[in-house]
Chains A and B, each alone.
Chain A
Amino acid sequence: MTLAKRSAVYMVLVALLVLFLSPFGWLAITALKDVGELRALPIHWWPHHPSLGNFQEALTRIPYLAYARNSLTIATIYSVLVTLASAWAGYGFARLDAPGKRVIFGLLMSTMMLPAVITLIPTYLVFAKFNLLNTYMPWVLWGLCGAPYLIFLFRQFFSNMPKELEEAAIVDGCGHIRIFWRIFLPQSWPVIATSLILSFSWTWGDYIAPALLLDSDRTTLAVKLATGYVNEHGAQLSNLVAAGAVMYVVPVLVLFLIMQRGFVSGISTSGLK
């Protein structure tokens, strides 16, 4: 590639980077503005008096860290459990034979097309019946059941592993539980990373389920961010919401930065790329 071509490619990439980062950049700038500057005309592209005061107020106006702890607990419980359960189910679909396996897998995949909103009220009724409202049990149960997309991801990855590996283990006296636990799972780090990132960010950003199943004093940061920053007349305090939102994306960002190599590799090696 010539220098001119390379430069052109980099320029396009930088332009795209700026385009995709601009909403987040605007959010961060808004978080530094006071109320007056939010409505200034002509628009203040950079605040005349930038201040971190909004971040401090966002942390104290609501018990921010306590709600963050709730979000973290739910997201961790769900992502760990759903990753293990999906890996286990994916292994079964990839390496074991059973009558009707294809039909069951097809059925499982078809549930991905079911909009979550359809099952909202019935789900609430089931959890209400078993007195599981206002607890984190729904996330445990959802986690233990696995997620169709992640099962598919693990199944694709495990299907690509050489048959000889499994056969050698069987010759050495391993059963399927041991093969899964000792051989397949340790080698599937990229998919585990992908699964952890995806499931953690789904739960961390979920609004509907916690709003529906948890009381407002036990809910998550996603719900509180949307409803907690209001003045005494119910009007939203946009600069505080912006400050809260900037801090809100940090855990997911950190998780992604730590696991990004695995994430990219997981997507490419599971045949989804």
Chain B
Amino acid sequence: MSLPDTAPLGRRRFLTVSAGAALAATALPGCAASVEDSGSGGGSETLTIMSVENEMDKKTIKAAEAALGCKVKFVLYDTTKLNAMLASKTPPDVVRGLGATDTPYFAARGVMTDLDQYFAKSKALKVSDLDPVNDVWRFDGKKQGAGPRYGMAKDYSQDSMFWYRTDLLEEAKLDLPSETEPLSQDEWLDMGKRLVKRRLGKVKVYGMNASGLSTFCTIMGMTASAGGSLFSQDLTSVDFSSPEALKALNWYLEYARADIGPSVSNPNPDGWDWPTYQAGRMAMAGDGYWFGGSIGGDAKLAKVSRFAPAPQLGSHRISPCFGATGYWIPKEAKKKDLAWKFFEWYFGGKPAQDRAASGWGIPTLKSLHSQMPQSQPFQKQAYKVQQQELKHFSVLTFSPYAQLTALDASINKILPGAVKSKTAAGKVADQLNADMNKQLANGKKVLG
């Protein structure tokens, strides 16, 4: 056998070549290429903010750098990445979160900074000026709404309220909902059934969307309105079998089986309500005040859109907020003072005023409520309804032993099959209890 007539490749030469190749390969990617000039602003310090693209866009980053005199590094929000950063004790300085559901989870794990001392010293953010919604960012170890403040909401909505199209209601010869008295959930469902339009058996116009921000939260809110609670008092378990929770679950199953709106078994392909509502394919959208921000940008729709109080399942009138999106400062953050400066600018400065005037949510400082838009008739009506609804706001405590995404995953796993097979609500409740309580027990074990 003859080998190719080139220089022999001995062990030494092979190892030398391999080592050279490996070195070259490692030198090349030592520093990954940046495609954008993020963090190029003034100042020697860098503030790292974990957020989403549309909230922390280039314009906002530039404005923050100018206002704070530092560089701002944007990190895209990702739950896995956040958990990894927290575990490695290299968290961002400021993190975006949903106050209503994130606060107990992270506060119980001791990874959030207690902001009480910062609020006490601040001239821009006074506790007396804070809207009550900011209480969802408080947790005393047993319940939300009490204890230290761990974050602040940027804006909020009472998420069980809904918007409707007067043209579609009039076409169906339905009375417009009252601006002060809430509908019962059954009345609302009945309206949805009468508003749905089908073509060849497929839904052409949704009668309503009652799924809200999350199905778990929707059922949790309805249960509270019926006078019950989905979580046990010590927050270590859920009980879908209580009469109030069962009533709520039954209602949701009836809604999903009626196929009159997006649900766990038939999600909206648009991903959110606005495109569907704008296209005249949804008569009632179960969205809070923030939805008016979209409506304000469409003159035709503004004429036919109105806002209504949150429907109630029982006699205990409540109108909770399941989001209260805002920011918090991790305990291990390196630039806490700078992070607080960002808080004062973002929640009390020009960005807060701009948000208040945009109609994309209720401002979280009472002093900014007057800046909510009221120039168009639909905005005046929404403002009036919203102001009346505020007194029914209440904080519903979420469990620190599981994240909302995990509980919603249980719902998404169990409910679609139950909707199709017409399983009895009692049996579905047992399945949900078993699945979620396992997760909550694991969370409890981790926390001790």
Contacts and interface: CB of A to CB of B under 8 A. Distances in A.
A100 interface: no
Given A212-B78, A217-B34, A232-B57, A139 B29 contact: yes
Q: Is the interface of A mostly helix, strand, loop or mixed?
A: helix
Contacts of B78: 211-212
B28 interface: yes
A125 B9 contact: no
Contact of B35 (A63, A171, A233): A63
A172 interface: yes
Contacts of B33: 66, 69-70, 73, 218
Given A135-B30, A175-B10, A211-B81, A230 B36 contact: no
Contact of A236 (B81, B271, B293): B271
A212 B81 CA distance: 5
B3 A174 contact: yes
A175 B10 CA distance: 8
B25 A81 contact: yes
Contacts of A236: 271
Contacts of B1: 165, 168-169, 171-172
A235 B33 CA distance: 28
A223 B81 CA distance: 13
Nearest to A38: B275
Contacts of A137: 26, 29-30
B113 to A, nearest CB: 21
Interface stretch (A1-9, A16-24, A153-161, A176-184): A176-184
Interface residues of A, number: 60
Interface in B175-232: 199, 204
A121 B83 contact: yes
B36 A214 contact: no
Contacts of B55: 234
A73 B34 CA distance: 13
Nearest to A132: B30
A39 B54 contact: no
A227 B53 CA distance: 8
A174 B75 CA distance: 54
Task: Name the residue in B73, B84, B293 with the highest tally of chain A Cβ atoms < 10 Å from its Cβ.
Answer: B84
Interface in A51-78: 63, 66-67, 69-70, 73-74, 77
Contacts of A214: 32
Contact of A178 (B8, B75, B204): B8
Interface string A208-233: 10011011111100010001101111
A236 B269 CA distance: 12
Given A77-B25, A125-B87, A172-B3, A70 B11 contact: no
Contacts of A42: 199
B22 A144 contact: yes
B233 to A, nearest CB: 32
A102 B83 CA distance: 38
Interface string A117-134: 000110011001100001
Interface string A233-253: 111101000000000000000
A139 B279 CA distance: 46
Contacts of B8: 178
A140 interface: yes
B29 A216 contact: no
Given A174-B3, A211-B78, A216-B74, A235 B29 contact: no
Given A182-B4, A216-B75, 9 more contacts: A38-B275, A77-B25, A129-B88, A136-B32, A182-B9, A183-B3, A211-B76, A218-B34, A234-B55
11 contacts: A39-B275, A124-B84, A139-B29, A140-B29, A172-B2, A174-B3, A175-B10, A215-B75, A216-B38, A230-B52, A234-B52
6 A-B pairs with least C-beta separation: A136-B29, A66-B35, A124-B84, A168-B1, A128-B88, A216-B76
